[in-house]
Structure 1
Amino acid sequence: MTAFLLRPAVGEDARFLADMLVEAANWSPGSHRPRLQVLADPALSPYVSGWMRPADAGIVAESPAGHPIGACWFRLFDSAKPGAGFVAGGVPELTLGVGRQWRAQGVGRELLRGVSAMAGAAGHARLSLSVDHGNFAHRLYVSEGFVVVSSTDHSDTMVKILR
């Protein structure tokens, strides 16, 4: 496994988080939705728009040279404007993105564990997410304690109990 470092996400990471949202949206090897298309998508843009709001938190992974390579973060949504993985008010929904060349090297797992600990320390009892059917990250989420609570034709909503 290649070494990498983790640090808290800050407001200046907004552009990189948008890059990682694009990576997450293009999870399939054959998928290539352009950045502008992903960020203009009303189902995806709320995950990064206006970063960093008061309840937002996350972690950025950096290469040994200090270059960002992945990120995992969470936001709170409400029932009036829910995210794809919305389960209830007060339950943060996470997003995870890792650069293609850094996938399958433990980066996503460490980011996910770090954000889970961060959310628990902030007093949250659960975390939620939405993952497309067929996305290899589904196995990662299950292995880290997320369970499917609802499904659509194309995705699952998953929840992890933190405490």
Structure 2
Amino acid sequence: MHTGYTQPMRTAYHLRPATAADGAFLGDMVVEAANWRDGPARSRYEVLTSPDYGRYVGGWMRPGDAGFVALTESDDPIGAAWFRTFPRTDPGFGYVATGVPELIIGVRPIWRAHGVGRALLRRLSERARSEGATRLSLSVERGNFAATLYRSEGFAVTQSGFGRDTMVKRLR
């Protein structure tokens, strides 16, 4: 008799375009992204009321926003990646230039390292390219294991800031 807990296989998921109704879930993913480190987590309220993070979901889905949501076979959301374009006067963490969309990505911890982030990143890169973007940017805190994924998908550090790096992928 087996009495221990066996973690279920986590490989079956699918992606769909994000809609205006996904705003709350995207907020959850911003919170996941902000709390990537071990240690005390910042509350949802603290993260989303911060102008630094709230900008990534406030007013979702405005013109120029696009994204994808990853779902389990039973349609439970497990991750999302989306982009927004910010003006020079109100830049995001990963702002590099006017007209360059900034990527935001979050995956529920239990689904990390199962290909979900990579699939979302690739699909979003395809979307940005199809909309005429020549580059896609993001910001990653130093020490975040996701930086390895970003590098493997063609992102390169273009600017180093206080505790974080801005990375850019050329889409041509």
Give the TM-score range, shorter chain. over 0.9
In 1, the alpha carbon distance for the partners of 2:74 and 2:147 equals 30
Find the counterpart in structure 2 of residue 105 from structure 1.
114
Percent of aligned positions that are identical: 57
Q: CA deviation at 1:58?
A: 0.3
Query: May I ask how many residue pairs the two structures share in their alignment?
Result: 163
Find the counterpart in structure 1 of residue 165 from structure 2.
156
How much is the aligned-residue C-alpha RMSD, in angstroms? 0.8
Give per-residue Cα distances to partners, 1:46-91, cap 9 Å, x unaligned.
0000000010000000011100000000000011000010000000
AA matched with 1:102 = W
Give per-residue Cα distances to partners, 1:4-46, cap 9 Å, x unaligned.
0000000000000000000000011224110000001111110
In 2, the alpha carbon distance for the partners of 1:31 and 1:77 equals 30
In the alignment, is residue 117 of structure 1 matched against residue 126 of structure 2? yes
Gaps of 5+ in 1: none
Larger Rg over CA atoms: 2
Find the counterpart in structure 2 of residue 39 from structure 1.
48
Q: Secondary structure at the match of 2:132?
A: coil
Q: Secondary structure at the match of 1:5?
A: strand
Find the counterpart in structure 1 of residue 62 from structure 2.
53
In 2, the alpha carbon distance for the partners of 1:27 and 1:132 equals 9
Find the counterpart in structure 1 of residue 5 from structure 2.
none
Find the counterpart in structure 1 of residue 97 from structure 2.
88
AA matched with 1:133 = R
In 2, the alpha carbon distance for the partners of 1:68 and 1:29 equals 23
Q: CA deviation at 1:128?
A: 0.2
AA matched with 2:86 = F
Q: Secondary structure at the match of 1:142?
A: helix
Q: CA deviation at 1:118?
A: 0.5
Gaps of 5+ in 2: 1-9
